[in-house]
Amino acid sequence: MGHRFLSIADPTNSFEWMIFLSKKYLSMFLEGTWLTLYIAVLGTLLGFVLGYVIGIIQDLKINQGDLFIKKILIRLIKVVSTVYVEIFRDTPMIVQAMIIYYGIRQTGVDLTPVVAGVLVTVLNTGAYMAETVRGGIGSIDLGQREGAWAMGMSPMKTMFYIVLPQAFQNIIPEMANTFLTNLKMTSVLNVIAVQELFMAAKTVGGNYYKYFESYLVIAVIYFVLCFVFNKIFGLIEKKMKGKEDYALAVEYLDNE
Amino acid sequence: MGESVLSIQNLSKSFGDHEVLRKIDMDVNAGEIICIVGSSGSGKSTLLRCINKLERQTTGKVMYHGKEVRDVQREINEYRAKVGMVFQSFNLFNNMTVLQNCMICTRKVLHISKAEAFDRAIAHLKEVGMAPYINAKPAQLSGGQKQRVAIARSLCMNPEVLLFDEPTSALDPEMVGEVLNVMKELATTGLTMIIVTHEMAFARDVSTRTIFMDRGFVAEDAPPSELFTNPKNPRTREFLSRYLAG
């Protein structure tokens, strides 16, 4: 049976066409999968970093006694980051891709589609992540910070040692969500000629005029990728929860 | 009586139109155990939060050893490392074990070695009887245990003054005693303490000075022996009689 499938030379139904196409254009689909993963993983990770930076910036407070220049500077980067988040959340990624790719190329910089694709993903993810991080920070009880502040810890250190570790744990599901969204959203990057999965299906489908079958192939690939990552994230989340019990320090048991 | 450590001068605080503190003047000398009592909404907690700079005063200033603590982050941080605070809601770091809770600030603020931070943490946890629980997370402890850890955590910083903001108000009645006992022990060590509390017996027995606050004013400031037996201010009298009757 398996042997017959792999040697279909003259496909007659859609299923056989799927087998035929994926066999004939295996390297194209594999390369498309690789590029999709590459852009999604790199774009998401860098986007997370950007999102955390912006989220932290938006949480900065100004003290009355701060230097004038520091006050101005903080206010300025806050305004810049707010504008950035607003712009990227309120425009479609497909339009951002076109504008960034052609815009940067117009200035004479030789930007490859893949780099542009990663850049768009980073900027888009960063904007959404910034809001998620801000929400995550806001979900941590103010008392956690006051406890640290009251012992002389600076707001920045408090953010890194106390607030962010807790916020991070709370927003893991949202981060997983963002990654899965990105994995699928890379498909819009075909408009700037990134040879990812969608582009591969488009090309393959065009060769035989078998669009339905061709897109079904990548649908399966997208599904498997997302399904596997979903399971992995589930495991990570479980692991991060930590133990329910703790060991008594028996060496100090007489002290109660 | 020791030298002046804290001096609160002409301090007022408003939230919008609402005046919570009105021109508070108060001197705190080394070794004093000051209990602040008064009905809810009289500004006790806000005063304590202003002293720790968690709340910014509207006017007036807080002086530490004769020097004003300005609203500059670095100055505030240095000041807070010496003037710690224990909260009604404990505020233990939920992402850390008891031991980590007691080591993080000494490590990251005072920059002492890991070994020294560990020794300090264990020593102070032993003082409050919480050493066996070093591996527990805050969520696994009872309220009284949490508050004892919070006190140990503050002590690890070797503070000069420790502020207590209703440390027993969030506790079940049977846990109040264990925390008050720890605080009584502390009071004998010479640490300067300012305690906002509703525990009148504790204030009467432990404090060296009791302050009665009323509507944002310091209505009476006297040794507990006077304030509790022979209050001068009619408001104090009214408050105490309500407490003793209730």
* DSSP code per residue over A26-93: HHHHHHHHHHHHHHHHHHHHHHHHHHHHHHHHHT----TTS-HHHHHHHHHHHHHHHHHHHHHHSS-H
Chain A residues with CB-CB distance to B97 below 8 A: 246
Chain B residues with CB-CB distance to A65 below 8 A: 70-72, 75
Task: Check pLDDT > 60 for residue A3.
Answer: no
Task: Check pLDDT > 60 for residue A4.
Answer: no
Chain B from 151 to 170: CB within 8 A of any A CB:
153-154, 157
What A225-234 contacts at long range (C-beta under 8 Å, 24+ apart), as own/partner pairs, is: A225/A33, A225/A36, A225/A37, A225/A183, A226/A180, A226/A183, A226/A184, A229/A176, A229/A179, A229/A180, A229/A183, A230/A176, A230/A180, A233/A172, A233/A173, A233/A176, A233/A179
CB distance from B181 to chain A under 8 Å?
Answer: no
Section A205-210 average pLDDT = 90
| Total beta-carbon pairs less than 8 A apart between chain A and chain B | 112
Task: Check pLDDT > 70 for residue A130.
Answer: yes
CB distance from A161 to chain B under 8 Å?
Answer: yes
CB distance from B171 to chain A under 8 Å?
Answer: no
Q: Which of A168, A171, A147 is nearest to A158 (CA)?
A: A147
* Minimum-distance CB partner of A65 among B71, B91, B105: B71
Task: Check pLDDT > 60 for residue A6.
Answer: no
Chain A residues with CB-CB distance to B93 below 8 A: 144, 147-148, 162
Q: CA Rg, chain B, in Å? A: 18
Q: Which residue has the tokens 């780099």?
A: A115
Averaged in consecutive runs of 10 residues, what is the pLDDT profile of chain B (246 residues)? 88 93 95 94 94 94 94 93 96 96 96 96 95 94 95 97 95 92 94 95 94 94 93 92 74
* Minimum-distance CB partner of B56 among A64, A143, A147: A64
Q: Do A154 and B150 touch (CB under 8 A)?
A: no
Give me the pLDDT at residue A1, please: 46
Q: Do B133 and A154 touch (CB under 8 A)?
A: no
Q: Do B132 and A154 touch (CB under 8 A)?
A: no
In this structure, how many other beta carbons lie within 10 angstroms of the beta carbon of residue B232?
12
Q: Do B97 and A246 touch (CB under 8 A)?
A: yes
Give me the pLDDT at residue A5, please: 52
CB distance from B140 to chain A under 8 Å?
Answer: yes
CB distance from B44 to chain A under 8 Å?
Answer: no
Task: Check pLDDT > 90 for residue A252.
Answer: no
* Minimum-distance CB partner of B95 among A165, A248, A256: A165
Q: Do B78 and A248 touch (CB under 8 A)?
A: no
Q: Is the ipTM of this complex over 0.90?
A: yes
Q: Give all strands (DSSP E) within chain B, no chain letters.
A: 4-15, 18-29, 33-37, 59-64, 67-68, 83-86, 161-165, 192-196, 209-214, 217-222
Task: Check pLDDT > 50 for residue A222.
Answer: yes
How far away is chain A from the Cα of B219, in angstroms, using its nearest Cα?
27
How far away is chain A from the Cα of B77, in angstroms, using its nearest Cα?
4
State whether the Cα torsion B21-B26-B29-B35 is positive or negative.
negative
Section A74-97 average pLDDT = 95
* Minimum-distance CB partner of B71 among A64, A148, A242: A64
Closest A-chain CA to B159: A151
Section A197-202 average pLDDT = 91
Higher pLDDT: B169 or A5? It is: B169
DSSP SS3 for B174: helix
Residue B29 CA to residue B161 CA, distance in Å, equals: 10
Give me the pLDDT at residue B246, please: 55
